Structure 1
């Protein structure tokens, strides 16, 4: 298949959404970034106080893509190496690009090669002569790797992504039944769903983006409050601010920033129905920038130690308090849109 890296990624695309976008663009699906609809906040804490995590996701990714747009994300999880490789070859021979999750520790072009185990995804687009052709949109790269290197990299056992003992995860995107027309009702349904999450009124099971149910999860503004309390507790003990802790903080804050950017592309589909969505889009773009700022601060804190790191995390905590106010304003504005669907909302932030 003649797939090439896309010319320009959009704000908010990460390695996975880049792969999905590439497949949708390859199949001539317009406005391919508008398919991402959930924009919440979820806080979970497993075990000790130092394990608090923040995520924008409250439903499985395959449900998000299926909702309204009817895009089918087929997720394969396997433990048998031979089954995985042969199935991927079959899919490629059928002309199906395959999204694979792998450990960058084994990828020579990656800056973390032989340094750090970390899950990343890219797109396999061909196989010939024991070589797999791949596109890594995150690095804007198209290259080939030998079969053994791919086999080694596909094993996720030393990364955070491994779930329930599953070593291999790969995806296929089926857009044959895709619907690109977004109705006025669709727009309000999505706004209402995200609003229910942000107001901690979501009645369905909270899951990870991989569909794993979460217990004892906080949602919305309550989740952000819990996360702020979590950081404050960790600040009281400098030993809790480990390299792993600040790396996780960077990952979480960056994901929420990306999520807010992505959601604006969906909202753009509804501006013709409700002019006040233009203001809402600007609000999401601004808060996305603020989340990106604190995520960059978390990234820099990985290179600090001791009291200097503690001071940087404290600055992040203060910035997040301001972001909390911005998220509150977005919740209030969303509520007004739901209540006054047919009226222009006169509010300035």
Structure 2
């Protein structure tokens, strides 16, 4: 299979693989801008006492993949390593490349091999005579792993703290009607959905029991304050890691939403989201500095002060979205650009 390592440093390891699959349909880079359009926020606790989730994504990407590009994401989960290997081989035998999951700690080619545990996603593009071809777009790696090596990765990952099941994803072009062209109505719906989430609505795939939108800042800041009181280092740094990765992903979502807004001609609003991106990144970097020296108490005041600025920026952007919609109460406006070439 021909392949291209897709380089986009502001997409997470799963999304960059989705982008790589879409480019083979093919989908142009300029059209991928419309896919990564969510700029929401939610916090939720999980069943595990020392785990929680922070995310800007309240809706599965699958809906947009189908609506914009006429393709479907299919996934199959396995709780046993040998079943997972079988699913991967079946997917590849059908001529599809596949996205797989693993704990990065067990990937032999990774710089984090045997050093850091963290969930990761990568693409497998082929299998021949006991050898798998790997494209890890996130880390810009192309190479090969023997079946025994990859089987060991699957088995170990299922025993790690991150996975009870592993999923294989592949993309399939539908045989139905071609996707509709990008319309002002679609652009308006994206902004409506982001606004609803930030105003506190639990919509689409936002988990029940979560704190959506601006309400998420209360439990997030509570987690920041708790870092200095956690005695066990492994639990403390796990919580800090969840916060850091969450902040980075929220920043990335604002960055991509800024590109979406620019693409539809909303340059002033786009700049405001770029400022939000930068503010979340500052918060993430402060967390990293605190974790590096185990100085959570010393950095707490600075991190919380930054979070107040982040919250105010998010409140300002939410108000700007409301004003944008208020000006269009009669329906989609002609000043939202309609891209006639968006169909894939």
Aligned to 1:264: 258
Structure 1 window deviating more from structure 2 (128-137 vs 39-48): it is 39-48
User: Partner of 1:239: helix, strand, or coil?
Assistant: coil
The answer to whether residue 247 in structure 2 is matched with residue 249 in structure 1 is no
RMSD over equivalenced CA pairs, Å = 2.5
Mark the CA change 1:27 to 1:158 in structure 2 (over 3 Å): closer, same or farther.
Answer: same
Aligned to 1:201: 201
Deviation at 1:319, TM superposition (A): 0.7
Structure 2 unaligned residues grouped into runs of 5+: 336-344
Deviation at 1:51, TM superposition (A): 4.6
Separation of aligned partners in 1, 2:159 and 2:182: 41
Aligned to 2:316: 329
Per-residue CA deviations over 1:211-263 (Å, capped at 9, x if unaligned) read xxx3321110111233224433x166363882212111111111111122222
Aligned to 1:78: 78
Separation of aligned partners in 2, 1:81 and 1:17: 24
How do residues 104-123 of structure 1 correspond to structure 2 at under 5 angstroms? Answer: 104-123=104-123
Aligned to 1:15: 13
Aligned to 1:26: 24
Separation of aligned partners in 2, 1:240 and 1:280: 43
TM-score between both structures, scaled by the size of structure 1: 0.84
Deviation at 1:72, TM superposition (A): 1.3
Among 270, 282, 289, the alignment partner of 1:281 is 270
Separation of aligned partners in 2, 1:335 and 1:262: 20
Separation of aligned partners in 1, 2:228 and 2:87: 50
Contact 2:122–2:137 (8 Å) recurs in 1 = yes
Separation of aligned partners in 1, 2:138 and 2:132: 18
Mark the CA change 1:142 to 1:47 in structure 2 (over 3 Å): closer, same or farther.
Answer: closer
Contact 2:227–2:240 (8 Å) recurs in 1 = no
Separation of aligned partners in 2, 1:72 and 1:56: 22
Separation of aligned partners in 2, 1:34 and 1:50: 35
Separation of aligned partners in 2, 1:238 and 1:74: 40
The answer to whether residue 127 in structure 2 is matched with residue 146 in structure 1 is no
Contact 1:19–1:122 (8 Å) recurs in 2 = yes
